[in-house]
Structure 1
Amino acid sequence: MKLGPKAFLFIPEPPSPAYRSPEEIYPLLKSFPPSRIVTGREGVPPGPWNMIVLDCRITDFRIFAGLPSGTLAVSLDEGSRKLRRLLPFLIDTLPLPPSFGPANVSSTAFLSLPAAEKMKSGEGGRGILVTFGGGDRERLGLRTVRWLSKTGMVPGMPVTWITGVFDGDGTRSGLRPGRTHLPDNVSRVPEIPDLKNRLADYGLVITKFGLPAYEAVQSGCSVLLVNPGPYHRRLSRLAGFPEAGTGRFRSLRGKRYLGQALGGYPGYRKRLENLKVRTPLSLAGFIESLSAGPRYYDCPVCGGTSNPAVRRLPDRTYFACSSCSAIYRQQFSGSQEEYGESYFFESYRRQYGKTYLDDFEHIRSMAVPRLETIGRLAGKTSGTLLDVGCAYGPFLEAARKAGFTPSGMDISPAAAAWVREKLSIPAAAGDFARDDEFVPAGFDVITMWYVIEHFERTGPVLSKVNRLLKKGGVFAFSTPTCLGVSGMQNPGLFFQNSPKDHVTVLSPSMARRILRRYGFRLKHVRITGLHPERFPGGGMRGTRVILLKLISVFFPYFVLRLRETPAANTPILKTGDGCETGAGLRKFLTGLFRLGDTFEAYAIKVSDLF
């Protein structure tokens, strides 16, 4: 990873001798100026920073709380459950238990491993290496060496035991000078320089779960794990390593695995071959590919901070605001949809099979029930109406026919020009969030049909709507919901398929709370996007969707964090795939439980914002 002239390395003061001190780290950073290595928080320049990479194993919450706002924080193998929920981006190079929650990216291919070597039969003849790191508080190294001697399975075979660099007097390993006898075939060394590239000299490596285990497998060695506790044992089993015991060797299991390792048992070798990294990935290159730079990491609706993540993907993270309940995404890589002229023609045709103008009449027909609802709430079908994101104006034309005096705004200059020239309706080209085209205020109706989810900062947009709308005026919008049939059947797939330019994902209950914050009262919700063909066909799968929908009324974020079951990972049914059977029941259940994938919200302005 190329470090610029303004890059700094922060090393916390070591809390125990098991951590390397700054003096020990300096030689490892040959090209990094010591003047830019700081050991105290008071020595860290205030920034602004484009990116902060945390590699602390378990990050101190005070470090997280002191991070400057607007900075991308990337954490490697974060061991703090609390911070794994709060940090923007997580990378796991080693597997963690499911209870820790998923990372954005998890792969052992990011590990810095030696070149892959093919395993050979009779590995034990090359000697045995025993290593449990410098912090072997459980004295696993000594116990392992003694167990190997007692079994009689390795007579005369050379055994090298690395006691660790922090074991100067032998007390950490359990050795007592003059009182502990080691077998003649055991050699004890504090460390082996460049061990990663010398592992291939050994036939069997006995260690605990961690980086050395993967390095040994990659070097073509047989590997046998003895773990210090249940946590490491669980990680070993998740990864697929053979494990001979916790805290000590289990006699029967240890002898069985040791015999398989020394004898080159094919099943044992195949198990380890599956752990090898076939295509290494550059961790530094991946981090560099993330879109760093000043940005907002708080809630775009209310500005709330320290919000928990509900879904992580390789290029973005979705958070749930603890204050206003909105779900919002932070994008870290990839390009977003550009809503220029090409979107309404080439992109629209790829998605719907026709261009936007070809679909003009259909879209205009959808405006009729919307205008009826607006007229009922406003008590009239006249007055000024602003449609934000008006595109080529089908809703504007329907509003004019209904009796309103419409005007529009769209980010596409070509669309706004078409509305002015072809429909003779006022339309401005620009970004509603940034441009101030409509002064003075005084609209009777403001609408946003599938637009509100695109704004990077929704809070200022809602404040602007409040300012432009008359008291008693109607604010209407439509947006996708995470609590429809797609979100209930498979939350992970729903967020994965959600367009990258959708910043917020709401539900009717979330919209009610948010609108109240900005001086509106939600008066009517219309569930749309009803797709009975997406309702699961199987009885248990269908029951699961209904139960999750009922649970989401009280615990929406619990539902969205659920890991998908195999049944939920099945593709969504499409018409023609045999889903016609029970279509009437699916349609009834989809409507009864309000399982539409989109909804329309109609609110009245009840107060001004000050």
Structure 2
Amino acid sequence: MRAESVLVVPRVQPLKGSGHLKRCAGLVRGLRAEGVNAFLFLSAVEGDVAPSRDAEDLLTAFPEDLDAGSVFKDDPASRAWTFIVLDRLRTSRAEYRYWAFLAPVVGLDEGGPCRARFDYLLDLLPSPASHRANRLDPYLLSLPERRRPAFPQMDAAESGELRALVTFGGEDAAGLGIPAAASLGRVRGLRTTFVAPALDPKIDELNAALAAEGADAGRVQIIQADSALKEKFADYDLVVTQFGLTAFEAAWARVPVILASPTRYHERLARDAGFVSAGTGRAAAARAGSLMNDFPGVIKQTAAIFGRHGAERDRATLASVLATCSFPNRAACPACGEHGDNVLARFAGRSYRRCPCCGMLHLVRPEPPPIAYARDYFFDDYKKQYGLTYLEDFPNLERAGAVRAARVSALLCSAGDGPRRILDVGCAYGPFLSAARSAGFQPFGLDPAADAVRFVREELGMEAAVGFFPAFDPVAAFGGDLFDAVSLWYVIEHFERLDLALEAVSDSLKSGGVFAFSTPSGSGISARVRFRDFLERSPADHWTIWEPGRAAGILRRHGLDLKKIVVTGHHPERFPILSGSRQGGFLRTAATAASRAFGLGDTFEAYAVKR
């Protein structure tokens, strides 16, 4: 699955620079090259903290970056979007609510109060935010193709052949460019080029400002902004700018970088990323030239920037990464369809949040899970986790199935006029079906793996079908009668639309019929002791993480009354103080008893009856 329609929303408020706008324009071009119907949105919406610049003015100021045909001028709510990309720096709460109502929201270098609420976060620039992103990767920046073969030699400052480039973006709202250029213009043997802001390119006024700062007119040249500027960095020995895209582009081109910061926040970002910085404000920018006294130090720190984020490698593009995103469940709660609150934990390719409505802990994925339910799932993959293949483990699974079948039987009100029909969804190679048949049930199996279904039919002699629940209708497929019981053993967590699965279960059951399932527990010792590690180890195709205390409310929505919880999977060795205890020791025995008494097992079974 790939993205179909994507809306990209840059920050375009006055006095906020043009870097976000240019990045988003490049992203839209890249997405369109990937076959995605992508658009820029440049207008103000509900919740904007400041009015946006006029779209026509922006098209005029950046003719090489912006294409009128790529700008979406209608109401964003008039169209369905696969997802929306916000490159706003600090998105307001009201603005976030507006966009999140329309589609899943992806944040680029987001630093605002709603950072924790974004469905997916990409930091291309290092951030000091305590809430980590799903992915931090400066290699996804649109970096220059042209690079110097190496950084300048450490003694290059003594050669008298240095060239410096000063650029503070399309606006330079803090006015740092002039004092920085003037400072460099006073450095002996340094030729300085100053790039005029694209939104205010008045060369005569800039020359006068440089003269007022005491710059030598013969040492500072002013040029117009160029959309291909990053490809010219390799022609220089130094770039002076502020923290942002340009700083990383120059570092990638193997050009030493000195920063001056418009705000203390930018200064913090600069220091955390490892850049040499003159400090904050115009006075600090005027000291940029003095940092040339330690030019070898500037070279050394810049050369280490990308090394902090792994060795150089073949780079994906931001557009190629986002083009594969489809948000299969629209980032909604699988149990009730509500859109969630703060994300609890983020990892590459997935996030976890708790639904504010039903309380379900659930997965948000930008891409479908990379798992196929075929033969390898039950053999190689199963053996890696349990030490045996599924068929080698069949006798153990059948014994566990016999206990479960007995619990189902105990909850059924009566046997009725014929054999009790039980449907096992995700039956695999049939150990529970075999146990249920021995317990007097007439079993039916459903599984997406054709090899497993063939085994059930030919080796075990029971009815089974290949299909995905709930799209597959088991009532129609197996004789048209409702079932006395439906079971899902370690299957229920795999439904990206759990609400539809539970509705189908209820529709397949007779009144008084039993619904039984087992699943990993979000209330077990593993989750309680190391919650983030527990989520990180959770399989990529587990859309929900159930907790025994919340199961009744979720089942009740579908006419299923919870009757019994059996906590299983007790692992005393997972208690922090017992990891080194010998088998049978007193502490281990006590931990096992505590785990059973307080329901701290890492899995559980639930048994409910249809009203």
Fold conserved between structures, TM > 0.5: yes
Show the counterpart of 1:527: 567
Pick aligned residue for 1:603 from 596, 604, 608: 608
1:432-471 Cα distance to aligned partner (Å, 9 max, x none): 3012232555433322111111223211221122223233
Pick aligned residue for 1:270 from 300, 305, 309: 300
Show the counterpart of 1:550: none
- 8 Å contact 1:308–1:321 — kept in the other structure? no
Q: Following the alignment from structure 1 to structure 2, what is the Cα–Cα distance between the partners of residues 171 and 518?
A: 73
Show the counterpart of 1:313: 347
* Structure 2 residue 265 is the aligned partner of structure 1 residue 231: yes
Q: What pairs with 1:60-459 in structure 2 (closer than 5 Å)?
A: 65=98, 74-82=106-114, 84-99=115-130, 101-114=131-144, 115-117=146-148, 118-119=150-151, 120-124=153-157, 125=160, 126-144=162-180, 154-155=187-188, 157-168=190-201, 181-184=214-217, 187=220, 189=222, 191-193=224-226, 194-248=228-282, 257-261=291-295, 264-265=296-297, 268-276=298-306, 278-279=312-313, 281-284=315-318, 286-287=320-321, 290-292=324-326, 296-305=330-339, 308-333=342-367, 336-378=370-412, 383-438=420-475, 442-459=482-499
Change (3 A) 1:178 1:27: closer
Show the counterpart of 2:21: none
- 8 Å contact 2:183–2:289 — kept in the other structure? no
Q: Following the alignment from structure 1 to structure 2, what is the Cα–Cα distance between the partners of residues 62 and 455?
A: 31
Q: Following the alignment from structure 2 to structure 1, what is the Cα–Cα distance between the partners of residues 580 and 62?
A: 58
* Structure 2 residue 510 is the aligned partner of structure 1 residue 470: yes
Q: Following the alignment from structure 2 to structure 1, what is the Cα–Cα distance between the partners of residues 423 and 34?
A: 48
Change (3 A) 1:146 1:480: same
Change (3 A) 1:17 1:130: farther
Residue 108 of structure 1: how far off its partner (Å):
0.9
Residue 303 of structure 1: how far off its partner (Å):
1.8
Question: Equivalent residue of 2:33, what SS?
Answer: coil
Show the counterpart of 2:541: 501
- 8 Å contact 2:174–2:282 — kept in the other structure? no
Change (3 A) 1:283 1:387: same
1:288-325 Cα distance to aligned partner (Å, 9 max, x none): 66154986443322222355433333333434323222
Residue 478 of structure 1: how far off its partner (Å):
0.7
TM-score, length-scaled by structure 2: 0.77
Residue 363 of structure 1: how far off its partner (Å):
0.8
Show the counterpart of 2:74: 41
Q: Following the alignment from structure 1 to structure 2, what is the Cα–Cα distance between the partners of residues 510 and 173?
A: 66
Question: Equivalent residue of 1:138, what SS?
Answer: coil
- 8 Å contact 1:226–1:247 — kept in the other structure? yes
Q: Following the alignment from structure 1 to structure 2, what is the Cα–Cα distance between the partners of residues 343 and 602?
A: 27
Q: Following the alignment from structure 1 to structure 2, what is the Cα–Cα distance between the partners of residues 318 and 384?
A: 37
Question: Equivalent residue of 2:474, what SS?
Answer: coil
- 8 Å contact 1:147–1:249 — kept in the other structure? no
Change (3 A) 1:437 1:4: same
Q: How many residues align?
A: 556
Change (3 A) 1:122 1:171: same
Residue 228 of structure 1: how far off its partner (Å):
1.5
Which range moved further: 217-226 or 415-424?
Answer: 415-424
Residue 173 of structure 1: how far off its partner (Å):
7.7
TM-score, length-scaled by structure 1: 0.77
Question: Equivalent residue of 1:9, what SS?
Answer: strand
Residue 213 of structure 1: how far off its partner (Å):
1.4
Residue 330 of structure 1: how far off its partner (Å):
4.1
Q: Following the alignment from structure 2 to structure 1, what is the Cα–Cα distance between the partners of residues 165 and 356?
A: 51
Residue 375 of structure 1: how far off its partner (Å):
4.3
Q: Following the alignment from structure 1 to structure 2, what is the Cα–Cα distance between the partners of residues 164 and 311?
A: 40
Question: Equivalent residue of 2:165, what SS?
Answer: strand
- 8 Å contact 1:102–1:312 — kept in the other structure? yes
Change (3 A) 1:166 1:364: same
Amino acid across the alignment from 1:191: Q
Residue 47 of structure 1: how far off its partner (Å):
5.4
Change (3 A) 1:244 1:530: farther
Residue 85 of structure 1: how far off its partner (Å):
4.1
Q: Following the alignment from structure 1 to structure 2, what is the Cα–Cα distance between the partners of residues 574 and 93?
A: 42
Question: Equivalent residue of 2:382, what SS?
Answer: helix
Q: Following the alignment from structure 1 to structure 2, what is the Cα–Cα distance between the partners of residues 11 and 427?
A: 52
Change (3 A) 1:183 1:467: same
Question: Equivalent residue of 1:217, what SS?
Answer: helix
Give unmatched runs, 5+ long, in structure 1.
Answer: 543-572
- 8 Å contact 2:43–2:54 — kept in the other structure? no
Amino acid across the alignment from 2:123: D
Change (3 A) 1:251 1:37: closer
Amino acid across the alignment from 1:595: L
Change (3 A) 1:131 1:589: farther
Pick aligned residue for 2:552 from 496, 502, 512: 512
Change (3 A) 1:276 1:66: closer
Amino acid across the alignment from 2:603: T
Which range moved further: 371-380 or 359-368?
Answer: 371-380
Residue 147 of structure 1: how far off its partner (Å):
5.8
Show the counterpart of 1:484: 524
Give unmatched runs, 5+ long, in structure 2.
Answer: 1-29, 45-50
Residue 88 of structure 1: how far off its partner (Å):
3.9
Q: Following the alignment from structure 1 to structure 2, what is the Cα–Cα distance between the partners of residues 530 and 444?
A: 30
Show the counterpart of 2:60: 23
